[in-house]
Structure 1
Amino acid sequence: MLESLRLGVQSWYFKALLMVLVASFAVFGIGDIFSGGPSLGAIVTVGDTEIGGAELSDAYRRRMNAVSRQLGTTLTTEQARQFGIVDQVVQSLVSAALYDAEADALGVVIGDGAIAARIRMEPSFKGQQGQFDRGIYEQVLAANGMVEQAFIDSMRREISRDQLLGSLAGALPQSTQLADRLYRWRNERRTADYIVLKYDPNSAVATPDDTILRRYHGDNAARFTAPDYRKITYIHLTPDDVMGNITIPENELRDAYDSRLDEFSIAERRTVQQMIFADEVAARKAAGMLAEGRAFVALAKKLANQDPKATNLGDVLRDGLPGTLGENVFKLSTGETSPPLKGPFGWYLMRVIAVKQATIRSLEEVRALIHDELASDRAIEVLFELSNTLQDILGGGATLAAAASQIGAKLIYVAALDRQGRGADGKPIADIPQGLIENAYNTLIDEQSALVDSGDSGYLIVQVESETPSVLREFGSVRNDVIAAWKREYRRDKLENRANEIVERLNKGAGLRHIAAELKLGAVTTSAAFTRAGQDTGANVPRGL
């Protein structure tokens, strides 16, 4: 199988096709693919595989969420465009589809056993004992918005791609000497004796005279320069401004409820316990012991090494169990245990603790939810009409203040705003709408910005009244700040000089422990053996070591 894979993927057709696909997306880009709306058909076709708008949209959202978590902030659509996220997602989907198509053409088949083994080896799914934990596995899937069958399908494709890529790498000539050098370089371990010179922000430092401070003030002008400020007034129209005046008639509430009955229907559920065994013989042995009256949870711990968390699945839906397990479990009544069932991770014994019948939430239960959603939609429509009225009034020559008065909007005044959204006191200004800073600094003095979308289904327009240019603050007004900055730098320089003196003595043959004792620097620490990548350094070892 691997030899046939190597022969297939070494073809120039396969390699050229991959390069052409990647290059085409790099050249043309796909920044506007979402403009087609929900009816958008296939974005890309790779062989018989079509990548549709829904698949691309899901992958895009997952990538956006992942990058947002890494950066600690929510990315905007414009930032996503700048980072090239859409192009990255499409290239990833195209590459995956290309590998899948080639694997299918070569007849790569991945069995359930290989998938189960891969999942059991995944560190993210292991508990404190280092073994596969079904409970943790389900929590990880739920956190990533995946059902088990979809995850198993994706694992099947991933293993298939791994075999394909492995065959590519396997076909390359290997240098034993190079591999040996790389192995020794990567895995070489060293230990180190070290001391840490701690920065003390409260150590006593005499205040220098004003001559030194004034020179420091001038040499570090950027630290003590006030930013440029803009004085502005603005109108911010939001759905909340009109929500209070919106009433939804009873017949509309009922119509909306009737059209969404599927959404308010709660499917039948089972409260389930499970045991999983590697083979049928072990499962049948456990079934026999259960028939003798043995407790399910205790037996799962003894025979399957499952803790209660992995045994108790809680409430599950029919399609929430993989393969045919759902169909078999939903044939059981309260208190019944299934015979051994073949599943994706082995042989299962499933016990139903309770049956929860399907129900439909009443209109009264969801009335507030439906009302708020309908009112929110209506508010957006009303707000759009209000924004048109505002533009008409301003187009007729009215001032921003007069226009706000005519439509009943609040005119907000900001005496000083800098490019970071702070006021003259250096503190952040509260409740700044999205786009305010950008529009305030992109609009000329005594001019109004365009009426723009504020990102919260609202509208924003800004009038720039005046500007205060950036200027170096007078020494007298920032003298205390200058003293504090000078002392911080003095302490850092002193600490660095001491460290350099110690290094010089070490290079001349003095011992680290002798120096530490002489200078009363505390105990010398010996690290654990670690690699160049910092593996196994321990939590307290400086990363730069």
Structure 2
Amino acid sequence: MLGSMRASKKNQTLVWVIFGLLVIGLIGFGGATSGPGTIRSVAQVGDEKISVDSYVAAVQNRIQVVSQQFGRNLSGPEAQALGVQQAVLSELITSAAIDNEAAKIGLSLGDEAVRSELLTTDAFLGLDGKFNKESYNLVLERSQLSPTQYDEILRKNAARTMVNTAITSGVGAQDSQTLQILTYVAEQRDFSWVELTDSDLDSPITPPNETEIQAQYDTNTATYTAPLTRKITYVLLTPEMLESEAEIDEADLQEAYKLQNDRFNQAERRLVERLVFSDQAEAETARNALDAGTKTFDDLLKERGLSANDADLGEIEINDVSKDAATVVFGSSDAGVVGPVQSSLGPALYRINAILKAESTSFEEARDELTAELAGEITRR
């Protein structure tokens, strides 16, 4: 787990280094929009902005794909040499231009179409081939997306497809234009090549004298004059080359570890939905219906005019709910419905959709990673 985490962190560090270089270039050309000390977007087409997060995520995904093709993790210079950041930015700008045009003409995917797309997405299907809420939540969690953000992505992709289709198939070529292109591509040329020598001339060529040579030179001085040049020697020195020379204090390593405690030590988390009732009796009745199999948790939501999103608490830790609720929710070793138990809003049933185990990385395990990061920061100053 630590190995994969280190690889991921190195990729993220690489992405932010590449992003920093891009931002320096964008600021020089007026392409980056920034607030007081914070750059929020890397480019903008019309009203459509390309955020820092979306750019970083796209670069990171591209680096992972290319790294898989090479069979190893790419270094910073390799990613730059392959033009990863330029290619990703170009693609994002193209998409932003299409999104901006779609927004201008009011193209959007309807709610029913979004729902149909969600229900048929392979990544969200369970073992029975039907939409599975747990799979849906886990995929979005790994992608660091909320349901609202994912719905927006679906709508933009659909609108983008409609614009692309209109561009590529909406205008047909005229017959005369097609004929011209076909004639250009298919036409051929026949020619004869004949070598002429001195023997083919009516009279021999007389060599020029000194006066003629000087006159030719004076008339065309620029042709015979080379521009002023300089030969230089340079040394390429990158921060990565100096990392081994950086001196890292033990106290700084300890401080960096403490400041990033949430990164190296994640408590157990659970994906939970909560359904609150007006009193304990109503909650007990609902629980009995669940146990008898006459109703499901979704049936209870519908009876109260609620959707799964209304009850969704997302990803929670043990301190995010009341003490009584924490005891029941985090005391269960399996997913499912627990309760009723007293919550901050009243008696409630909780549905546990997924259990995310705690992850802990000790200081000694994180030492090498922290050392590399601090060395990189020092050499870039």
> TM-score, normalised to structure 2's length?
0.46
Give TM-score scaled by structure 1 length.
Answer: 0.34
* Greater length-normalized contact order (CA 8 Å, ≥ 6 residues apart): 1
